[in-house]
Every structure is written in structure tokens, then in C-alpha cells.
Homo-oligomer: A and B are copies of this chain.
Amino acid sequence: MTSSTLPPESRRSSAPQPRASWVQERADLDRTTLRPRRDRLGHEPPPASPPGTLVIDDTRRPKIFVIDYDAEVVSEKEIERVDECIPYLTDDRPSITWVDVRGLGHKATFERLGEIFRVHPLALEDMVNVPQRPKADVYGGEHILIIARMAQVHERCVLRTEQLAILVGRTFVLTVQEEADWDVMEVVRERIRAGRGKIRERGADYLAYALLDAVVDGFFPVLERLGEHIEDLEIEVLDAKRRMSKPIHDLKRDLLTLRRAIWPQRDLVNALLREDNPLISKDTRLYLRDTYDHAVQLMDMVETYRELSSGLMDLHLSGISNRMNEIMKVLTIISTIFLPVTAIAGIYGMNFHHESSPFNMPELDWYYGYPFVWGLMLASVVGLLTYYRRKGWLRKDKDDDGA
């Protein structure tokens, strides 16, 4: 039996957006907003603060959702006050309770959370102060704190990442999300609601695995989008229609952000695999090995994309040089056609007095003088163009258009 007190619009979707032209979108974005990157990449940590201090914006109150389930029953509810989740934790049924806190803010809420779940001050600090580097820490043999980072390609093709803290206990999982408006864990919620797979029959460690797996797998569509973006850039770089160095630089930035998110997540899964922790059953460990493989595969992709984006810059620079060559060739050919003509015409525009000397420009009186000069001009132009054709300059010019 499944009971859900959630209105349908509160079920957040992690479905991939329809694909728009990344580059175009981003260019528009950069134009409308003055400094869009600062906010996106501004995951810089807060200045020095004493350990255990919570740096929390007090104005926004986080939303709190509770999902409590065992093999037979699921109940799902949004609660207003933190204390409302206590009954789920202390009831007699051996159910798994997942408390999902969306958004950071309202210090009192988090301090109360810390008391209810008996979180170590340092653990609470890491859950609340963003950004933390992804990691997995054991506190007192009772709790595992997993700091992960979710990624999403947002609307208008902006890469967004968000911290997710997963605190695993024996019968509960507490998750704290940095932002309230999106996550990648809806697939897990659906599986719990539908009773698909074994998730309803297993413990809190399996739920934590499922969440971690959703986070790691959530990077695949992001990297897929970036892969398509790289291919678009390749075509655009070869077309050379626009200035490409900014988009390529932005791509590199995004890949750096992803690498910073994925690399330590691979390490944390590995740490969970290796450590002999009683909280994680041997069976769940087998599934974590799968997650580890995915994280390694993600790292492979990021590194491959980084190399490809370096190659893009080379392509771009060589394209600029090629266009320079083309411009120079056109300039040279135009000079070649008109400079000899001007020079020859200039010679026969001199005013030497032919009455003063028989040597003074007798050509001007020749019967075929004027046609002869035309011939001279044509000959010099044709001669030079033939020389260029032999060098392959004229042919290549065509090739450049066709390529």
C-alpha cells in the first residue's frame, strides 16, 4: 500500500531537457545577464570559521520531506517542523526513514536536525557549509556522512551543480540538498513508490547506495550533452562562421567543474568499497562496485572530452591562420593584377618632350603603341597569375571553400 501526501507538482522531474543549440543559448545568456558565470562557478568556500560553526542564511526556510517505507507500506509527507519526523524514527516498525531536506537556510532547523539525529558537529558543518569536496567520512561507527555533488544541464544550457549530503544511519537516511528546486533523485523516489527492484526490501545502506548511484548516473546525460556540444563546436570551428575561442574556453571551464565533481566521488565510492564498515552490508558493496565502475567511466569521458577540447583550440587557431593566409593571398593577387598595370600606365603617362630628343618616348607615336601597352599589361598579369597557379594558390583557394 502506498500513500502519498505530495501534490503532483512537487514531484520534481530529472528528465533531460529537449536539446537546443548550446552555443546560441549561452551566447544569448551571456548578453542578457552581465556576469552569469560568477554565480554558476561561485562555489567558493566561506572564509575561515571555527569548527562546528554553521554558516546559514537565516531567511529561507528549507522544505523537508519524509519517506518512510518497508517492504509493504510507503508513506510520503512534506513536514513543516523538524520534530514531525521523530515519530517515523522512533516507531516500532523496522521501517527505513528517508528525511530529505531541500535548501539550506534557517539555522534553528539544522541545529534541531543535528540533535534529533545526533550528528557530530563536524559532520553537521560539512552538510551545511557549501561547497565541500565530495568525500565519505565515518563518525563514531554509527554514521557515515557522504558528501556528493549532483550535476544538471539546466534550461538555457547552463551547467549547474549542487551539493548533496547523505547521512546514513542504521534505519534512516538524512539528505541535505544545497538548492530546493532540483535534484536527480526522483528516480529513486519512483522506485520506492512503485516497489520496483529490491529497494523496499533492503536497509538504509541500500537506499544510500541507490541515491549515490542516481547522483553518479546523473552525470551521464550531462556529459552526453557536452559530447554533442563538442561535436557542434567541431563543425562550427571548421565552418569558421563565428568567434569560437569563448565557447571553447567555456567548455573547458565546464569540464573542469565536472572533473572537480566526479574525481573525488570516484574516490569516495572506492573508500566505501574498501573500508570494512558494519553499516554497509556485503551485498550493498557488490552494487557499489557497479557505481564505482560508472564513476571511472565518467572520468574517462571527462578526460577524453578535455583532450578533444584542447584539440578544438588547435583547430580554431589553425583555422584563424588559414583565413589569414587566404586574405593575404587575395591581397597579393589584387596587387599583382593592378600594380603592374599602374606602373606601365604611369610610364606612358610621363610627359617627356618627344620634340627634344628622338629617344623621348617614341612609343607614343607608334602605330600600335596603345595596343602594345595593353598587351604588355595583360602579359605581366597573366604571367604572374600563371606563376601563382603553379604554386597552387589559386586551386587551394577553391578547395578552402569546398572543404
Residues of B within 8 A of A351 (CB): 348-351, 361, 364
Q: What's the least CB distance linking A194 to chain B, in Å?
A: 10
A373 CB–B CB distance under 8 Å: yes
Q: What's the least CB distance linking A134 to chain B, in Å?
A: 10
B-contact bits for A324-356, CB 8 A (1 contact / 0 none): 110111111011101111110111111111001
A320 CB–B CB distance under 8 Å: yes
A103 CB–B CB distance under 8 Å: no
B364 touches A370 (CB 8 A): no
A346 touches B356 (CB 8 A): no
Question: Of the candidates B50, B245, B367, B399, which one forms a contact with A357 in the assembled complex, judged by CB atoms under 8 Å apart?
Answer: B367
Q: How far does the alpha carbon of A202 sit from the alpha carbon of B340 in the complex, in Å? A: 85
Q: What's the least CB distance linking A143 to chain B, in Å?
A: 13
Known: A191-B50, A321-B320, A346-B345. A44 touches B224 (CB 8 A): yes
A117 CB–B CB distance under 8 Å: no
A316 CB–B CB distance under 8 Å: yes
Q: Residue on B with the closest CB to A35?
A: B231
**Which of A5-13, A70-78, A292-300 participates in binding chain B?**
A292-300
A132 CB–B CB distance under 8 Å: yes
Q: What's the least CB distance linking A105 to chain B, in Å?
A: 22
A89 CB–B CB distance under 8 Å: no
**Which of A59-67, A108-116, A169-177, A305-313 participates in binding chain B?**
A305-313
B371 touches A367 (CB 8 A): no
B400 touches A243 (CB 8 A): yes
Known: A46-B220, A370-B360. A313 touches B314 (CB 8 A): yes
Classify the interface of chain A: helix, strand, loop or mixed: helix
Q: How far does the alpha carbon of A218 sit from the alpha carbon of B48 in the complex, in Å? A: 6
A94 CB–B CB distance under 8 Å: no
B345 touches A339 (CB 8 A): no
Q: Residue on B with the closest CB to A369?
A: B352
B187 touches A135 (CB 8 A): no
Residues of B within 8 A of A289 (CB): 137
B-contact bits for A213-229, CB 8 A (1 contact / 0 none): 11001101101100110
Q: Residue on B with the closest CB to A372?
A: B359
Q: How far does the alpha carbon of A16 sit from the alpha carbon of B321 in the complex, in Å? A: 38
Question: Of the candidates B42, B286, B346, B356, which one forms a contact with A366 in the assembled complex, judged by CB atoms under 8 Å apart?
Answer: B356
**Which of A79-87, A158-166, A246-254, A272-280 participates in binding chain B?**
A246-254
Question: Of the candidates B191, B243, B296, which one forms a contact with A133 in the assembled complex, judged by CB atoms under 8 Å apart?
Answer: B296
Q: What's the least CB distance linking A79 to chain B, in Å?
A: 27
Question: Of the candidates B228, B322, B392, which one forms a contact with A243 in the assembled complex, judged by CB atoms under 8 Å apart?
Answer: B322
B327 touches A334 (CB 8 A): no
A318 CB–B CB distance under 8 Å: yes
Residues of B within 8 A of A348 (CB): 350-352
Known: A197-B50, A341-B347, A399-B242. A356 touches B334 (CB 8 A): no
B327 touches A332 (CB 8 A): yes
A118 CB–B CB distance under 8 Å: no
Q: How far does the alpha carbon of A174 sit from the alpha carbon of B137 in the complex, in Å? A: 32
Q: A327-B393, A356-B367 are in contact. List 9 more A-B contacts (CB 8 A).
A: A38-B231, A44-B227, A135-B293, A246-B403, A321-B321, A324-B324, A346-B349, A359-B370, A361-B370
12 A/B residue pairs, CB under 8 Å, sorted by A: A16-B47, A122-B287, A126-B293, A133-B296, A313-B314, A317-B321, A320-B321, A324-B325, A335-B335, A335-B339, A342-B342, A346-B346
